[in-house]
């Protein structure tokens, strides 16, 4: 029987799509009392945010969604496999994520790939690529049909003793600021929450960067320590961050923006296969639903409901300025793609997928 899932860091009421190659029901006729009891800890990098209703659909945050999904995993394993999701900073902060997940101090991490980009070059790419796609849909064939994207990403993470589980798409990333952006010149001298590829792009636009975590961003924006940041529109509205910004620039420069759910490889390998299959099954349902319709719905809510609620002004970036930004920042990606074979392969895969999608 197909299941219903409540989803996201931006998400919706999700309907299971069936079998993605691993989603048979392997838990029939299992004597769960004879199976080992396993407890995992999952650190989340984002606050949960409020639940909203948009066009008759219940939409919940990523942390809430994962808790619901892991509850299902526990139920399907007879209460033998349990995963607890912790609020941001409880077990580890961003600067400790890599060491914690690689060593097994954390069994699981739900975060943004850029936090690991200093150690894993591919993490610059699996969060999304600027100015290349305008929705998650070009990614669907290479993740859920051919599986090429997932295969390359998992191979890259495996070299660091990490099992990449799934990507989660939560709408586009938008510049959200205390000043309007009408052209690339408006970035000059402004301070952004920037790191990874975003930090490089901000510098190329003439801006400055400050390393600020998501939980710290509210105060930094409120006190004008930073002039702006980049975040999903829906997430900024649901978590109250739009209280401390004045403008949001459209269109999005990165869509999708993708979080990841990853696990320590040793912990993963110790799981009985039936636990792996059940966890994979539930997570792949959530992931595919994000890419097929949740991400777009969150964008719609964030821009057309969330922003007006906080009196955030929407600024349309002229196409010529959007294209100028795209061209100026392209060397960032070419440089990053040269760092290793995985980055180069993902860059080519996504460019090809985007070209094929937009030519249809």
First and final C-alpha spacing in the chain: 35
Distance in angstroms (rounded) separating the CA atoms of residues 262 and 110: 7
CB count, 10 Å around CB of 144? 18
Domains contained in the chain, CATH given: 4-15+37-171+257-302 (3.40.190.170), 173-254+310-359 (3.40.190.170)
Give pLDDT tens digits along the chain (360 positions): 333 333 333 333 333 333 344 455 666 789 999 999 999 999 999 887 777 777 666 666 778 889 999 999 999 999 999 999 999 999 999 999 999 999 999 999 999 999 999 999 999 999 999 999 989 999 999 999 999 999 999 999 999 999 999 999 988 999 999 999 999 999 999 999 988 899 999 999 999 999 898 889 999 999 999 999 999 999 899 889 999 999 999 999 999 999 999 999 999 999 999 999 999 999 999 999 889 888 888 899 999 999 999 999 999 999 999 999 999 999 999 999 999 999 999 999 999 999 998 876
Cβ(14)–Cβ(294) below 8 Å: yes
pLDDT on residue 122: 96
CA distances from 15 to 7, 12, 79, 318 (A): 10, 9, 23, 37
Predicted local confidence at residue 15, as pLDDT: 32
| pLDDT score at 57 | 66
Q: What is the gyration radius of the CA atoms in the chain, in angstroms?
A: 20
Neighbours of 334 (CB within 10 A): 10
- The whole-number pLDDT of residue 62 equals 79
């Amino acid at each position: 029987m197909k299941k219903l899932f409540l989803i996201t860091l931006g998400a919706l009421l999700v309907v299971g799509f069936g079998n993605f190659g691993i989603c048979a029901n392997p838990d029939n006729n299992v004597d769960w009392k004879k199976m080992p009891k396993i407890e995992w800890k999952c650190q989340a990098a984002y606050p949960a945010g409020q639940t909203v209703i948009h066009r008759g659909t219940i939409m919940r945050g990523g942390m809430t969604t994962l808790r619901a999904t892991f509850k299902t995993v526990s139920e399907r394993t007879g209460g033998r496999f349990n995963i607890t999701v912790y609020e941001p900073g409880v077990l580890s902060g961003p600067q400790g994520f890599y060491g914690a997940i690689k060593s097994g101090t954390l069994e699981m991490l739900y975060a943004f790939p850029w936090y690991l980009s200093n150690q894993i070059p591919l993490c610059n790419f699996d969060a999304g690529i600027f100015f290349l796609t305008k929705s998650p849909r070009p990614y669907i064939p290479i993740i859920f049909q051919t599986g090429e994207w997932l295969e390359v990403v998992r191979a890259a993470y495996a070299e660091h003793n990490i099992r990449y589980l799934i990507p989660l798409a939560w709408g586009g990333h938008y510049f959200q600021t205390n000043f309007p952006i009408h052209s690339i010149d408006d970035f000059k001298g402004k301070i952004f929450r920037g790191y990874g590829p975003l930090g490089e792009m901000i510098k190329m636009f003439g801006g400055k960067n400050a390393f600020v975590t998501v939980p710290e961003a509210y105060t930094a924006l409120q006190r004008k320590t930073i002039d702006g940041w980049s975040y999903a529109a829906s997430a900024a509205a649901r978590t109250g961050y739009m209280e401390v910004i004045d403008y949001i620039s459209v269109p999005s420069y990165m869509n999708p923006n993708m979080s990841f759910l990853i696990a320590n490889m040793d912990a993963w390998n110790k799981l009985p296969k039936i636990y792996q299959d059940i966890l994979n099954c539930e997570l792949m349902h959530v992931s595919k639903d994000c890419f097929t319709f949740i991400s777009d719905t969150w964008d719609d809510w964030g821009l057309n409901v969330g922003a007006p609620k906080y009196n955030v002004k929407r600024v349309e970036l002229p196409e010529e300025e959007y294209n100028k930004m795209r061209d100026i920042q392209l060397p960032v990606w070419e440089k990053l793609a040269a760092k290793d074979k995985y980055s180069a392969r993902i860059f080519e895969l996504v460019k090809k997928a985007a070209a094929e999608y937009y030519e249809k």
